[in-house]
Structure 1
């Protein structure tokens, strides 16, 4: 995953923190490296991707989402043109109210700025132990089952995204259309490519070593200073689709 020695062991630790982020709730890098990412991942992600892609929400175009955090707004432009399934999943969850009352359970600024991560539906429940935060996914009330989405990354100038594979696995050397610039919004997942569900993260700095490995689907366009001030445990008071909801298509 790491193709240059420039970032060294610090990058390795940070990537590992994100890599296990969907399945661990601990805060230190050492404990996350030792954690097992098996609790919240689907048993067979390949067959799941093939069978559910047509049922997943799709964003045909762009939308704008506003998060309220600590009484201030974070405005995200969601890009369904480059990541239609990932963007559609996020907008659909916002519209359902899934993110209202969830917390940012992971904030990594040391040894260098990395990400703030939230969106775990489990974090709405104050009775859930802190160490379990980061293990949750969205459960579709219609099916009673967790909804996962395929890893979706579009190479620059390509007609279609690559699904269910990192660029390295697919043998792609081009940069993605959407990269991990500061303020990029992307989906957290475990080591299984198709294990993203509800948890997302916002990049606190340019993170090019994540490009081609995680699905970026949006960008903070207002309120990055609010993101910079987020602390672990801060609550997403509300999340609202303010523009582009008519671009969301659900079902078949």
Structure 2
């Protein structure tokens, strides 16, 4: 009886992890801890992303390198589409307080990455790498799904999963749907740290 109950609990935990629900089990990491702020600089709370180093090692290494160097600090959520995803990570053109008109067009000073497509499906809270039309053009930008988006499976590299701060993610300022989610006076990543 206890054995069946344990299996049921593990299955439910696995389903919650796949859907990106609050309180999902944190994996081996590393984790990105992101302090989110509004345009005035007031903190909105933290989100924690568990990165999948076993599924996308080069992409995870890039995110960790940029975070440790402080490159993500002050970068806006430039594209946020209600019911789809929140995108950030343009360290070149996306700094809060600067002219962010070109946010979403830049990357880092490091070379683009070859795709590391894997078997993880895009669900609520899934973290994927943004790219241009070329599958091998991801660099620094990433997005977090606000809803299931299986149509992205095999098209974008999955790099992690939200494990804490679902309410904070949902509260990120949404963009104009008519302008492909472009956000005026966007929220931003005040501070990004790495937990190994």
TM-score in terms of structure 1 length: 0.58
Whole-Å Cα distance in 2 between the matches of residues 87 and 229 of structure 1?
25
Whole-Å Cα distance in 2 between the matches of residues 188 and 98 of structure 1?
17
Which residue in 1 is equivalent to 2:75?
A: 102
Whole-Å Cα distance in 1 between the matches of residues 171 and 100 of structure 2?
24
SS at match of 1:206: coil
Whole-Å Cα distance in 2 between the matches of residues 239 and 218 of structure 1?
15
Which residue in 2 is equivalent to 1:188?
A: 130
Give matches, 1:40-59, under 5 Å: none
Give the superposition deviation at 1:125. Answer: 6.1
Relative to structure 1, the CA distance from residue 225 to residue 127 in structure 2 (aligned partners, 3 Å threshold; closer, same or farther) is: closer
Give matches, 1:32-71, under 5 Å: 62-70=29-37, 71=43
Which residue in 2 is equivalent to 1:84?
A: 57
Does residue 238 of structure 1 match 2:180? no
Give the superposition deviation at 1:123. Answer: 1.4
Which residue in 2 is equivalent to 1:168?
A: none
Which residue in 2 is equivalent to 1:147?
A: 111
Contact 2:76 2:96 survives alignment (8 Å): no
* Number of aligned positions between the proteins: 151
Whole-Å Cα distance in 1 between the matches of residues 123 and 96 of structure 2?
32
Whole-Å Cα distance in 2 between the matches of residues 106 and 191 of structure 1?
17
Does residue 120 of structure 1 match 2:87? no
- CA deviation map 1:151-189 (0-9, x unaligned): 1112xxxxxxxxxxxxxxxxxxxxx2x210100011000
Give the superposition deviation at 1:128. Answer: 2.6
Kindly report structure 1 stretches of 4+ aligned residues shifted beyond 4 Å: none
Relative to structure 1, the CA distance from residue 86 to residue 129 in structure 2 (aligned partners, 3 Å threshold; closer, same or farther) is: closer
Contact 2:121 2:150 survives alignment (8 Å): yes
Whole-Å Cα distance in 2 between the matches of residues 129 and 212 of structure 1?
30
Give the superposition deviation at 1:103. Answer: 0.2
Relative to structure 1, the CA distance from residue 147 to residue 125 in structure 2 (aligned partners, 3 Å threshold; closer, same or farther) is: farther
Whole-Å Cα distance in 1 between the matches of residues 98 and 48 of structure 2?
30
TM-score in terms of structure 2 length: 0.73
Gaps of 5+ in 2: 1-27, 38-42, 174-182
Contact 2:89 2:140 survives alignment (8 Å): yes
Gaps of 5+ in 1: 1-60, 140-145, 155-175, 245-252
